[in-house]
A and B are shown apart, each in its own frame.
Chain A
Amino acid sequence: MQQALQRLAAWCYQYSSQVCIPAGRHGLFLETGSSERLLGPSEHIGKRLQQELTQLGYCSVAGSAPTPEAAWLAAREGLHIAGSEQIRRQIGPLTLNRLHLDSAQQTALERMGFRQVRDLLRLPRKALTRRLGPALPDYLDRVLGIRPDPRAMYQPPESFSSRLDLPAEVHTSQGLLFPLKRMLEELCGVLRGGDSAVQSVQITLGHEADDDSLLPLGLQSPAQDSDRMVTVLRERLERLRLPRAVRSIRLEAPTLLKFNAGQHSLFRDTPAEQKQDIEQLAERLQARLGRDSVSGLTGVEDHRPEHSWRPRTLDERPDCIAQPHRPAWLLPSPRRCTIHDYEILAGPERIESGWWDGRDCRRDYFIVRDRHGSTLWAYREYKPGRGWYLHGIFG
């Protein structure tokens, strides 16, 4: 039950940034006042939540009031109390057992002959404290909003996990579509709530007496859209052959990624947004291909072309001298060549350097053209060895 509440709290986070899971109760508190402009009055939000929870397979009641405790009372009755001055009037007629009291307090009050909440509200606080301790008047004050009622707010989770025991064994893979779809929808509600997304989901199918089967779902890019996941799921289920009947399903998303909302916007033109895009791309590529797979480029102060560049990280500023007469591409290592095969178009450009680090060299660079019409960069080496080499391509 607590796990389900945790999941639902995460799911509710899409409708309210202040969600609270009260201890020892089967319910949740949502602050809806700030969402009113977006979602309409509390009454509408309540109805919408109930409808969507029904679709996810939950039974629910909803009510609203200016204070959490009054809302709790209102939920049972389906009431929507608009202002704090109306709390007293609207909860007055309720019977005492509706109040969130422990059974000892409940019996004590009944023995004293109280029947309705109204009776209790009429009593002076001092008398109540004397007879029943300070907890009850404190509670009533919080119901009425006389005393503030701060609560620990729910924090959206870093990962998602949910488990479903199927009411009956499922023998065909297509039979898993409906429950899995529900679970994915719940996941997506949680993702929308936390402004997060997933790129992979791990589904574990539990069998009666066999090892679990795994059904991983992978996406091309992080998503929080259940339709997209269900499309992938459908394809996977079509090709899935179940070894045994399935008794339970576990759905896990071990890492929730930050969602790039820009995928919905028409233009993403600000530098910050583009930086965010490129960083996400880099992360994704690096996740699969390794850290060194993505880099920028920068110049290095060295006359030898092969030492005049290096990869840079994306937050490092590039620093380079422009040399437009040099080729766009360098060969990974110079290749020996016979200069007679080429026509020399320009040169020489003398490059002489490197005596200080033991990589002494003296070369004359020429722009040459081969018989296919390709323009290449060749050099004649004098030091350390002698000979002609190809070193670049004017792409």
Chain B
Amino acid sequence: MTSLSTLLNTTPHLWKGRQPGHGQRACPTGHARLDAHLPGHGWPLGAVTELISAKPGLGEFRLLFQALANTGKQGQWVILVDPPWIPYPASLQGHGLLLERLLLVRTGGARESLWACEQALRNGRGGAVLAWPEQISFARLRRLQIAAENSAKLAFLFRPENVAREASPAALRLQLEAGEHYGTLIHILKCRGSRPPQPVWIPQPFSTYAKNRHQTEHHASLATHNINTALAGNPLSAIAPGPGHPRPKQH
């Protein structure tokens, strides 16, 4: 006789509500705290992830560095569709992204940008597509979701804060805000499986700096060195500590 648990465990099409990430293929984010709450323990492959933040510079792009570096190492392409700023090659390379596997697409307007994004998602198999659409309809987003699904791609959309309350077919929606200790607070607005009620705090490069600064204000030059180490992830490539005045004279 077959027991219920055997049936539950052997039937691949059966989805169990309390089991996060059942059947979800994912790419680790590099943040254990975040991975623990994501289905499949990472960025969902073949699905759209929305990263919502009020302002840029909260660590929203940094969050993806590990996944994008892995994408390049596997010989897959990372496609940036109309980033609002100029990607700085030296920095991207410094964080392990392979420039020879990076494609930059510049279009004329929002419509073209979405079209290009969909084309990029449909193309080939694997890799990652990043886009910054301000406005996108539910139906259009669904098409992107299907395109990502068919090509097993990582798809990241950076979205403004006002869309957080809108319904979305994206598989994963995260909202970022500045957290304490110079870290980032990540609210998981939507994910497949059960959703954690509490936001997840993840450190940013200056989190250690913040702690040090609160503890020992006068060891500022030491802190500066930590900052460089933290940012670079490698003390040898750190910038030279400032010439004796970590806080410059202000006008």
Chain A residues engaging chain B, CB cutoff 8 angstroms = 220-221, 262, 267-269, 271, 273-274, 277-278, 280-282, 284-285, 288-289, 292-299, 305, 308-309, 311, 314, 317-318, 320-332, 339-340, 344-349, 364, 366-367, 369-370, 372-376, 380, 388, 392-395
Contact = CB atoms under 8 A, between A and B. Distances in A.
B105 A331 contact: no
B112 interface: yes
B204 A326 contact: no
A372 B62 CA distance: 17
B232 A324 contact: yes
A81 to B, nearest CB: 47
Contact of A299 (B56, B90, B126, B248): B90
Contacts, number: 231
A376 B86 contact: no
The 3 closest A-B pairs by CB, nearest first: A373-B178, A324-B94, A395-B61
B85 A331 contact: yes
Given A281-B123, A296-B99, A322 B94 contact: yes
A329 B89 CA distance: 9
17 contacts: A268-B124, A274-B127, A288-B112, A289-B108, A305-B88, A309-B89, A318-B89, A323-B94, A325-B239, A326-B94, A330-B85, A339-B251, A340-B250, A372-B178, A392-B85, A393-B56, A395-B57
A287 to B, nearest CB: 10
Nearest to A305: B88
Contacts of A271: 75
A288 B56 CA distance: 30
Given A278-B123, A328-B61, A323 B242 contact: no
A380 B250 CA distance: 10
Contact of B55 (A281, A296, A311, A372): A372
Contact of B88 (A220, A326, A345, A367): A326
Contacts of B54: 372
B107 A347 contact: no
Contacts of B228: 325, 346
Interface string B81-103: 00101111111111100011011
Given A274-B75, A388-B251, A282 B58 contact: no
Given A322-B237, A339-B251, A392-B88, A278 B103 contact: yes
Given A328-B95, A339-B250, A281 B89 contact: no
Given A289-B112, A309-B89, A375-B204, 6 more contacts: A289-B116, A299-B89, A324-B91, A344-B246, A374-B178, A393-B85
A293 B108 CA distance: 9
Contacts of B85: 329-332, 392-393
B203 interface: no
A344 B247 contact: yes
Contacts of B33: none
Given A221-B122, A346-B227, A297 B90 contact: no
Interface string B142-184: 0000000000000000000000000000000000011100100
Contacts of A393: 56-57, 85
Contacts of A308: 88-90
B106 interface: yes
A324 B89 CA distance: 10
Nearest to A292: B106
Nearest to A266: B125
Nearest to A339: B250
Contact of B91 (A285, A323, A346): A323
